[in-house]
Structure 1
């Protein structure tokens, strides 16, 4: 039972990049962009709405 130790990057590299990986990457990238857009819109509209309150 003398197994060679392995690292996380070796395991990830052994899987390779599949179609599933690309779909997941695109979905997560879109979520990140929309989250940033949401944050930007709320902060920029606060400047225009603040004077009415």
Structure 2
């Protein structure tokens, strides 16, 4: 992963889910993608208006 802070956040989330027994088996790639998308900060959009 490129962003170490996001990697740590996802890792701690998955460890917490596993320790609570909420993960019955291995997660799929699609499940991991959904977790990553839900934890990412929204991108900021900048618009410049020239006068």
- Asked if these proteins are the same fold (TM beyond 0.5), I'd say no
Higher relative contact order (CA 8 A, sep 6+): 2
> What is the TM-score of this pair, normalised by structure 1?
0.37
What's the TM-score, normalizing by structure 2? 0.38
Q: Highest CA radius of gyration, 1 or 2?
A: 1
Higher normalized helix content (fraction of residues): 1
